[in-house]
Structure 1
Amino acid sequence: MKYDFYPNLYQIINQQKNVYNHKKLIIYNDDVFDYKEALNKVDQIINYLLQLKGKSTYVKIQLEHPFDIGIAAFACASAGVAFSFEKELNNLQDKSLLLLDQDLYRDVLRLQPKINQNLKIEKKINPDSPFMYTNNNMVTYKDFLNHIFGKVNRKENVSSAFYFDHDNSVSYYLFIQYLIHALFTRNSFEVVNKRLDYNLDIQSINSASENKKNILFFKPTNNYKTTYMHLWKCLESNYNIFYLNYSTNDIFNDEFYKSIQLKMKRCDIHFDAIIAYELSGIVAYNVFDDATTSQFLLMIDTPVIHHEHEEENDLLKAWTDISKNTKAANSIWEHASKYYYKLTHKESLFKNQYKSIINPLNIPNLRKKNIPMGVFCSNGSNSLEREIYTSFNWESMNELLEFKIKVDCNHSDILNLNNSIMISERLMLQLGDYSEYNKHKENLLKAFK
């Protein structure tokens, strides 16, 4: 069927106010998008654009805050004026653009709008009219909406977080797609700034000596530095101990891994070994490569997390059934939340994501590697329900796995005093410190009496 016109997005934006007056559309840095206030701003900018219609071919949006970017895009689409985020567009003359930067944006919202009754929003839009310009390519109104309609009709599952990269213009266009798609499906999402430095900090735990080797511990996912207390005590006389700290719970993404690699590369300390406990071991595993220049990775009770394929155990059906039973879903979420320490950016978003059909545990990706590595594992953390389970089958992921030692204890006891002594001894042997091994063991026994 051929369509001669498309409905103006403005109608959809206004229709959804009944939804988003009681529901969050966007969250950014703990701020919530005020839909009612945003609509007022959209109306003011629309009125301004209608005054200029015919004088400007497109609007170049140069705003920083995601809320402002969304409001500006809503206004442009409603006024029937194409927009772009590119610094330069060779196929358009500069005289035909309107630069909507922070100054103009502030001025338009501050001034009382001049109402011209002859200027009205078009209820129908020519489907072939330009919607936006991306990298010198024109995207028509029809192209954009058909793309969104396709995602909606396919019932595509979308993550509850959008990672915004202010240094990449593509990210701006993807954000607009994400925003319009959320609007059509009445969903909520959080914008996470990719330029976060995660407050990465390599801290010294003991007095450093040039004659000692250096060991770097990754912050555990339970956020308690004291988790390593006994192990540090066992190692401090023979090694310089350092601790990688950070201020994010969103630890399973490539940007975070790259940030750690860059931090370690710029650090003037060579780390002979990296040690990580529980799921921080997955972070260390994904970070560990030539850039880290470390010679060994030791993981303590770090599982390989398996997400059963839907064809093997009907995962989608199982989680669809569970999602209908709020009590059961909450119970399982609490179990997972306790064990996995709320790994996603926001607890509420994690809960919604966990209870949804897809990726209920935000399971991290693991790639096969060949890196020198050892694993200590307990016997108390090997399963979580039927659809998602953990194992310590690291040999399937890494051909250079040098040892896997199972400790007869519960998960919570694997870093107690006795086990820490055993782990420290095995690490010394691994790093080739044979001459100090027996002396070290004797001194430890005396120190802890």
Structure 2
Amino acid sequence: MTSPSPAVLEHGTFRTRHPLEEWVTRAIPGGGLLLLATVLALLLANTPASDLYFTVRDAHLGLDLGPLSLDLSIGHWASDGLLAVFFFLAGLELKQEFVVGDLRSPSKALVPIAAAFGGVAVPALLYALVNLGGPSGSLGGWAIPAATDIAFAIAILALLGSSLPTALRTFLLTLAIVDDLIAITIIAVFYTSDLRLWFLAVALLPMAAFWWLTNRREAWFKKHYWTAWVLLLPLALLTWALFLNSGVHATIAGVVLAFLVPTRGISEYGRQHSLSHTLEHRLRPFSSAVAVPLFAFFSAGVAVGGVSGLLEAWQSTVALGIIVGLVIGKIIGIVGTAFVLTKFTGATLDPTLRWLDMIGMAAVAGIGFTVSLLVSELSFVSGDPMYDWAKVGVLTASTLAAVLGALILVPRNRLYARQQRDSGAGPDGLDRGRGWGDDG
């Protein structure tokens, strides 16, 4: 008797994306939209259109729903609201990696996890050292250079090196995911003020309903996509609003909800995905094309005041600490931790990696951007010169990190490409194949 085909046994859980959705979720176009939004914000903030830009950014929109206050400026709607979508996706990716991905194997993930902690600690320490004699309150920005921007870092790495070892991208992905987890923890612990616990207690109710629906009715949601919008979205919005009013940064709600979504491996046929993968597939285009670029647009607009304003910002200990932390501290923290771990313990790197590749990758990890800009807004008050200095520092450091990474990785990519042509091997050392920079 002929066994039924996989198509009969299973219902595919991914709808086909529109070509435009597929384009914006690719690493390079996604990073390109982020860059475009940043450049446009800087142009508007430093031209005669600056008054219009800042008026729109600071305009308030919202509702007063009794104990729930949702009166935020448009800029805060972008950082507290839209960025919650980005953190929800980061949470989904974190859980997937811990449950079915590389992070479930301690031996395999030990070096990049330890490197991530080193890549957070050393930049924070360098920033603190630079700001020991800085302006009053400047030490509050210690966490700004701790973050790595996944979208930009992966986009730059893909752009620079289609022939680099695939293990290098895997290392950066693992490192950036753990880095995100650390950044989320820092925001939750150190940037929570005026904590109102009863809002968090009430938030347990929609969170419990969200968990019950996603875990007990998983198959229904995967087959009937519209129900996620009708049932899950209102619960997510209510949870977000309660977190917003609790004193905990509202983006943390996205991470908490993501951890409640069930995650399982893809089936043997490669068709049936868990609800976690399905939601990520559905939300990724919105995050890449709308949420993160709009956050960048309203966050990166800094009136630098011409050349003299830039020089003043660059001479400040705040900007200098961020630049030193992201450009130098990330390399020392990541590579130094990996080196010590592999030399003095039984941990090992992938045999295809070389230390010069690691230095280039660590330089790219110095692109802080999204989370660094968010922490800048949490560290300093708008109108304080340090608020603008911090953002100038983040933008400058991210640019320098990308340039330094390019200077190291472009020649390495040419070397690997030449070796692959000579040997007939691909980036994984096994076959020619297409480079990982060509996939979505």
Higher helix share: 2
Output the TM-score relative to the length of structure 1.
0.21
Larger Rg: 1
Higher strand share: 1
Query: Larger relative contact order (C-alpha < 8 A, sep ≥ 6)?
Result: 2
Output the TM-score relative to the length of structure 2.
0.21
